Amino acid sequence: MEITTKELLNLVIILLKYLEKRGHEKITFVDEDAYYQKIWHKDRNLTKTPNITLGLLDEDIESIKSLLQGEAPNSYDLERLGALFTIIGATLDKE
């Protein structure tokens, strides 16, 4: 299974346009959405229950917004962005 970075870019553009078309140009999160459950990739295991930790959306947003100011990206920023998209998808009004 594979996907190209060009395909990923196009998918993100399509999904962000979808949000804007439905009036979601700015997304506000309630306090209940600030924390999320996270399983670190190194802890994923199909034979036993993995350790579950908490992620903090505020920290993720602050960290990935620093990229807009010229901070160098790292691979963990992709996980932070993924968590942000997961919470957006789970909390916006369903159509």
CA pair distance 74, 72, nearest whole angstrom: 7
> Quick check: is 85 in a domain?
yes
Q: Name the domain count of the chain.
A: 1
Given a cut of 90, whether residue 74 has pLDDT beyond it is: yes
- Give me the chain's average pLDDT, please: 91
pLDDT tens sequence across 45-73: 778 888 888 999 999 999 999 999 999 99
Angle, in degrees to the nearest 10, between helices 76-91 and 57-65: 120
80 contacts 60 by C-beta, under 8 angstroms: yes
Given a cut of 70, whether residue 91 has pLDDT beyond it is: yes
pTM, entire model: 0.83
Domain residue limits at 84 = 26-91
pLDDT of residue 95: 57
> Quick check: is 15 in a domain?
no
Cα angle value 13/95/86 (rounded, 5°): 50
> Quick check: is 59 in a domain?
yes
> Quick check: is 73 in a domain?
yes
